[in-house]
Amino acid sequence: VSTPRLQVRDLSKTFAGVTVLDRATMSIAPGEIHALVGQNGSGKSTLIKLISGVYRADPGGEILVDGARVGPPVHPGRLHEEGLSFVHQDLGLVADLSVRENVRVGRHSTRRFTRWIDKARDREAVRQTFEFLGLDIAPEARVAALPPSERVAVAVARALQDREAGSGVIVFDESSRAIPREALPAFYAMIRFLADQGTSVLLVSHNLKEVLAVTDRVTALRNGMVVDAGVPTADLDEAALTRLVLGREGTLDDLVTALPAKVRPGEIELRGVAGGRVRDLTARLRRGEVVGVTGAVDSGLLDVSALLGGARPGEGRIAVDGASLDLARARVADFLGAGVALIPQDRAVQGLALGLTVEENVTAPHLTTRGSAWWTGRRWRHAATDGVLDTFGVQPRKRDAVVATLSGGNQQKVLMGKWLLGGPKLLVLDDPTQAVDVGARAAILEATRKAAQEGTTILLCSAEVEDLAAVCDRVLVLADGVVARELTGPITPEDILTAIFTPVAGGAA
C-alpha cells in the first residue's frame, strides 16, 4: 500500500470551550482528486484553516505529507516546500500585475549580488510551468486582461512553482466559485491533468454535481465531525451524496405547489431589451409570479440580469406599473426608484460590503426612506435586521457579525434580505444558489417563492434547471438572444433541458 500523499489524523479545534471540529481524519492518495463536502458550519473551513496554519489545532492531531509530519503546529511559510499549496475562493490574484508577477510572488529569482529580481529567470520559470500545463499565456500580460480560464491557470501555475512534476497536494478551497460557468470545463480538465501527473488534489466544494463529476473519493463533515471518509464517488448519486451532507433526504420541494402564486393587479413589461448577446427580450410579467430565464451559454442568459438590474447599459425599456425606464439612459438610482432591485451573482464584489456588519449591509439601502437627515434610527435598524436573521435563518444570528466572516450561503441570505426589506416590485436574481450548500439552497428558493406571494415579481436568471422547476410559474428559454420558448407549469427539469437543447425550427427569430 502506497504512503498517502496527505494524511490528517484526529485534528480538533476548540473555541472558547466549544468544539467546532472533533477528531477529523482524512487520507488522500497520490494522483487522487478528493472532495471535502459539508453544510455551512460543518467544519470544512475550520479543517482547511488548520491544514493551512491559519488556526492552530488542539493538541493530539497530526498532518502528514508523504508520511512526513508537517504539523501541528503548521508553519505557513514552509508549507509550499513541504508539498502543500492552496488556491482560495477568489483565486488570490492581483489584477493590475502581470502574469509573471502573480505566479512568482514570494518566489522571485534574484541576482546574485544586487538581490534585484531577475525578470528573465522568472519569465522562463513561468513559461516552463505553462508549457507543462499545455498553455500559451504571455508572462508579461496583465491578469486583468486575461479570460477567466487563463486566470485560473495563473493561480494553478503559482501553486506549482518550484515543484517536481506530479508531487505535492493542491487544495482548491471553493475555487470554482470564482470561475464563470463557461470556464469550468477547462478548470476541471486542468485538475484532472494534474492528478494524471501524480499531484493530489483536494477540492472543497458545495457543488455536489461538481463533486460527482470530477472527484474520485469524498469525505463528508457534519456538525464538526467526519461522518464518512474516502467514499468512492463512483458509488454515489446526488441523492446519496446529499444524504451524506445533510443526514437526510435533500430533494427540492415543489415550491410552486406548496406556495402557490398570488397574482395581484399590475404588470411589468420588458420591451425590446438588448445588450451583449441579448438581441430582443420582450415579455410581460405579472405581479407576484416567479418567471425563470434560462438558456445555453451563448444564448444571452449571462447578460440578462445585468441589463435588467441596471448593472450595464443596454437598449429597450422596462415598464413598471406604467412608469417606464429607458435602459440606455437610466441610472441605478432610477432602477431603485422604480422598484427594480438586482441580486448579482458576484455577491462579494457587487452585492455586499464585506467589511461591514450584517446590520449595516441590510439597512444601508433604506436609510433615506426609513431614517432622517440627522438620525438614522436605531430601533428600526435593529428590528429590520432581526427580521432578516429570523426569516432566512442566518447563522450566526448576530446583527454585529462582519459579513466577511459568514459562509457563502449566509452571505447570500443577507443579500436577499437586504433587498426584500424594501419591498421591490421587480427582483432580478442572477443564479442565487451558486456556491451555497444544499441546506442554504432550499432556504433561498423558499424565500424566493414567499417574496412572490407577498407581491414582488421575481425574475430568476439561472442555468440550474432543478431550481427553475422548483420555484417558477413560467420559464423563458433564450436562444440566439431572443425568447425561443416559454414553458408553463407544471415544469420538470427534463422539460427545461429539452427546451434548451432542442433546436428551434427555422432558428431563433
Q: Kindly report the three-state secondary structure assignment for every residue of 392-432.
A: HCCCCCCCCCEHHHCCHHHHHHHHHHHHHCCCCCEEEEECC
Claim to verify: residue 20 and residue 112 sit in the same structural domain: yes
Claim to verify: residue 296 and residue 324 sit in the same structural domain: yes
Domain end among 422, 441, 469: 422
Q: Is residue 290 part of a domain?
A: yes
Residue 86 near residue 159 (C-beta atoms within 8 A):
yes
Domain end among 422, 443, 469: 422
Q: How many folded domains does the chain comprise?
A: 3
Q: Which helix (H) or strand (E) holds 68?
A: strand 68-71
Claim to verify: residue 13 and residue 100 sit in the same structural domain: yes
Q: Domain range for residue 353? A: 349-422
| Average of per-residue pLDDT across 212-221 | 95
Q: Is residue 344 part of a domain?
A: no
The pLDDT value recorded for residue 252 is 64
The pLDDT value recorded for residue 196 is 94
Lowest-confidence segment of 13-22, 61-70, 384-393 by average pLDDT:
13-22
Grid coordinates belonging to 12 = 480538533
Quickly list H helices, 204-279: 208-214, 238-246, 255-258
CATH code, domain carrying 279: 3.40.50.300
Cα–Cα distance for residue pair 55/34, rounded to 1 Å: 22
* Burial bucket for residue 456 (CB in 10 Å: 0-12, 13-18, 19+): buried
- State pTM to two decimals: 0.67
| Average of per-residue pLDDT across 183-199 | 90
* Burial bucket for residue 322 (CB in 10 Å: 0-12, 13-18, 19+): exposed
Claim to verify: residue 258 and residue 226 sit in the same structural domain: no
More confident residue, 502 or 61: 61
Q: Is residue 356 part of a domain?
A: yes
On the question of pLDDT at 302 being above 60, the answer is yes
The pLDDT value recorded for residue 509 is 47
Whole-Å CA distances, 481 to 24, 183, 279, 282, 303: 49, 20, 5, 11, 9
3-state helix, strand, coil in the chain (%, to 5): 40, 25, 35
| Residue type present at position 21 | L
Domain end among 422, 437, 456: 422
Claim to verify: residue 107 and residue 233 sit in the same structural domain: yes
The pLDDT value recorded for residue 251 is 59
Claim to verify: residue 168 and residue 47 sit in the same structural domain: yes
pLDDT tens for 429-452 read: 998 887 677 777 888 898 899 999
On the question of pLDDT at 249 being above 60, the answer is no
Claim to verify: residue 397 and residue 491 sit in the same structural domain: no
Q: Is residue 119 part of a domain?
A: yes
Backbone angles phi, psi at 211, to 5 degrees: -60, -45
The pLDDT-based confidence of 505 (bands split at 50, 70, 90) is low
On the question of pLDDT at 1 being above 70, the answer is no
Claim to verify: residue 442 and residue 394 sit in the same structural domain: no
Q: Is residue 509 part of a domain?
A: no
Cis peptide before 72 (omega within 30 of 0): yes
Q: Is residue 415 part of a domain?
A: yes
Lowest-confidence segment of 78-87, 171-180, 261-270, 461-470 by average pLDDT:
171-180
More confident residue, 240 or 36: 36
Claim to verify: residue 204 and residue 63 sit in the same structural domain: yes
| Average of per-residue pLDDT across 298-313 | 90
Cα torsion at 490, 496, 502, 505 (round to 10°)? 50
On the question of pLDDT at 133 being above 90, the answer is no
The pLDDT-based confidence of 248 (bands split at 50, 70, 90) is low
Claim to verify: residue 94 and residue 16 sit in the same structural domain: yes
Claim to verify: residue 324 and residue 360 sit in the same structural domain: no
The chain-wide mean pLDDT, for the chain, equals 88
Dihedral sign for Cα 64, 65, 69, 72, please.
negative
Claim to verify: residue 312 and residue 371 sit in the same structural domain: no
The pLDDT value recorded for residue 250 is 54
pLDDT tens for 21-37 read: 999 999 999 999 999 99
What would you measure as the largest C-alpha separation in the chain, in angstroms?
A: 78
Report the candidate in 209, 216, 187 with the shortest Cα–Cα distance to residue 87: 187
